[in-house]
Amino acid sequence: MTTFMNDPTMPTPSFPGSHMVMDDRYVFISGLTVSDLSNGHAVKGDIKEETRLVMRAISRMLEMEGGSLADALRVDVHLSDLNTLSDMDSVYAEFFEPSRYPARTCTESPTICGGCHVEITVMATRQLPED
């Protein structure tokens, strides 16, 4: 069974979509930016701060479903400037165990919604309660 859900701690998406979609095996989290976390207003910050805020939100969303970032299988990262990759990576790496990083794609997207510097999307294994 597929469940479509919005995180009750965040503003309702301004786009026609859901924050999370879950089926029996996976959790899919829509691309998140600091603009999504702050009701459409970009939080002024550098790439490190934006990455930290978005990764914390993703971690919390996975925890709401009984999982964690350790369950992440795939991550897509969009940066407004690919020259900030090493700064983003320095924060991103803090959220995973060394040598246990999910598969990842990182692209430059000069115009990210809300004027943000980073947008992150996650696909994770769903931790279902045991019978």
Q: Is 29 helix (H, G, I), strand (E, B) or coil?
A: strand
Residue 71: what pLDDT?
A: 96
Q: What is the pTM of this model?
A: 0.90
The secondary structure element, H or E, covering residue 107 is: strand 103-108
Residue 44: what pLDDT?
A: 63
- Which positions of the chain have pLDDT values less than 50? none
Does any domain span residue 15? yes
Does any domain span residue 131? no
Does any domain span residue 42? yes
Rounded-to-integer distance, Cα 75 and Cα 103, Å? 6
Domain around 16: 3-125
Domain count, the chain: 1
Which residues fall within 8 angstroms of residue 98, CB to CB, at 6 or more apart?
A: none
| CATH number where 102 lies | 3.30.1330.40
Residue 12: what pLDDT?
A: 84
Does any domain span residue 130? no
Does any domain span residue 121? yes
